[in-house]
A = this chain, B = another copy of it.
Amino acid sequence: MRSYTASGDSNTWSGIITSMFRYTLTARSGRARAGIFHTPHGALLTPVFAPVGTQAAVKALTPAQVAELEASLVLANTYHLYLRPGDERIRTLGGLHEFMQWPGPILTDSGGFQVFSLGRTNRIDDDGVTFRSHIDGSTHRFTPEKSILIQENLGADIIMAFDECADPNDHTYIKKAMERTHRWAERSLQAKTRPDQALFGIVQGGVDPHLRAASAAFISSLPFLGVAIGGLSVGETKAEMHATLDVVAPLLPEDRPRYLMGVGTPEDLIEGVRRGVDLFDCVLPTRLARHHAVFSPEGRLNLMNAAFAGDDRPIDPTCDCYTCRTFSRAYLRHLIAAKELLAGTLLSIHNLRALVHLMAEMRQAIQAGNFEELVPEYLRKWKGNAERHRQRNQSD
């Protein structure tokens, strides 16, 4: 199924190629990469940030608004859609693209992360996981085969191998979970049948550099069309995250996209891109928006603060989003105080656009060859937007 050509020291090459998918690396700047990932629903210019649409909707936004802020890839959560409205239902209705009317590429996760993080796991064994629904308490079972079947029913362009994400601080268990993840990776590949979906493997291993190196080597040896780095942004420190990326990224195949799951803040994106990551997703921009917080060059602002009640400036005068082009902080603060739903919509548009725009800026710099010199400037601009609270789960 897979064939690829790679010319190691050229600046442009084509990586993995199937009849449906092709990854082309177009430029490098240090370890940072720019590329194009072709999918059946269009090309992704990488590095790219994917807004999260947990329940087949980016919260509070129409697909037209998501497209207007120039997001290209949207993530949906397998666990949630399996439970409601059901993957069979979505297949009958024409698949996820038709159902949610997102014409571009979609990525679904494997459901594993939610099964573990929503804390209702009944039993985990080598075959799979039994868990209770967070909606009605009913009992369900996911295996690698079941996860792939569900993701084939949903029909996203990029689907994920079923993995186990363990507590990074539980060093004994982390090895066991990694080994299980490797066996599940092979079973996920075996179970896959649709040629119009790219299956990505997931590197685990907590924050142990030896386990991470072993996992990176193993997952990279399998015929996945992309490799994800899982198990980060789940409780480890920033330094541990960076150290882990420093170990893993250089071991991943150059010719396939790399995806850092569930990350991040503006700084996380900058730190990830400079370490060679191509793809990111995170609930943070939309979740913060619903809690009245916005990314800005002045740092993260909580617009509920009374100081903004008379502030006639936009959130960020350098931002080109609909919200910043149109509304004052004073108006946004009023909407928040008055509990108007529109506040969530307008703040989500800004936060997502800030990250999508930052990715486009970094991509351009990588193409132009001056990304490395610009990194300090990016970090300076976005400092003060650090993640204050760890995200408990990667669905929104």
Interface assignment of A330: CB less than 8 Å from any CB of chain B: yes
- Name A313-346 residues within 8 Å CB distance of B: 322, 326-328, 330-331, 333-335, 337-338, 340-342, 344-346
Binary B-proximity of A84-96 (CB < 8 A = 1, otherwise 0): 1100010011100
Q: In the complex, are the beta carbons of A57 and B335 less than 8 A apart?
A: yes
Interface assignment of A56: CB less than 8 Å from any CB of chain B: yes
Interface assignment of A239: CB less than 8 Å from any CB of chain B: no
Contacting residue for A327 out of B101, B322, B327, B328, CB 8 A: B101
- Name A80-123 residues within 8 Å CB distance of B: 80, 84-85, 89, 92-94, 99-101
User: A335 to chain B: closest CB distance in Å?
Assistant: 6
Give the total of A residues in contact with B, Cβ under 8 Å. Answer: 39
Q: Which residues of B contact A94 (CB under 8 A)?
A: 312
Q: In the complex, are the beta carbons of B62 and A342 less than 8 A apart?
A: yes
Contacting residue for A85 out of B312, B326, B337, CB 8 A: B337
User: A343 to chain B: closest CB distance in Å?
Assistant: 9
Q: Given contacts A85-B309, A101-B326, A101-B327, are A56 and B334 in contact (CB under 8 A)?
A: yes
Bound Cα distance A61, B340 (Å)? 10
Q: Which residues of B contact A80 (CB under 8 A)?
A: 338
Q: Which residues of B contact A101 (CB under 8 A)?
A: 326-327, 331
Q: In the complex, are the beta carbons of A342 and B57 less than 8 A apart?
A: yes
Q: In the complex, are the beta carbons of B61 and A342 less than 8 A apart?
A: yes
Q: In the complex, are the beta carbons of A55 and B99 less than 8 A apart?
A: no
Most buried by B among A84, A89, A340: A340
User: A221 to chain B: closest CB distance in Å?
Assistant: 39
Q: Which residues of B contact A312 (CB under 8 A)?
A: 93-94
Q: Which residues of B contact A85 (CB under 8 A)?
A: 309, 330, 333-334, 337-338
- Name A117-169 residues within 8 Å CB distance of B: none
Binary B-proximity of A49-67 (CB < 8 A = 1, otherwise 0): 0000001110111111000
Bound Cα distance A19, B42 (Å)? 55
Interface assignment of A310: CB less than 8 Å from any CB of chain B: yes
Contacting residue for A338 out of B61, B84, B309, B328, CB 8 A: B84
- Name A282-334 residues within 8 Å CB distance of B: 309-310, 312, 322, 326-328, 330-331, 333-334
Q: In the complex, are the beta carbons of B346 and A93 less than 8 A apart?
A: no
A residues within 8 Å of B by Cβ? Answer: 55-57, 59-64, 80, 84-85, 89, 92-94, 99-101, 309-310, 312, 322, 326-328, 330-331, 333-335, 337-338, 340-342, 344-346
26 A–B pairs (Cβ distance < 8 Å), ordered by A: A55-B338, A56-B331, A57-B338, A57-B342, A59-B341, A59-B342, A60-B341, A60-B342, A61-B342, A62-B342, A62-B345, A62-B346, A63-B326, A84-B338, A85-B334, A85-B337, A89-B310, A92-B310, A93-B312, A93-B331, A94-B312, A99-B330, A99-B334, A101-B326, A341-B341, A345-B345
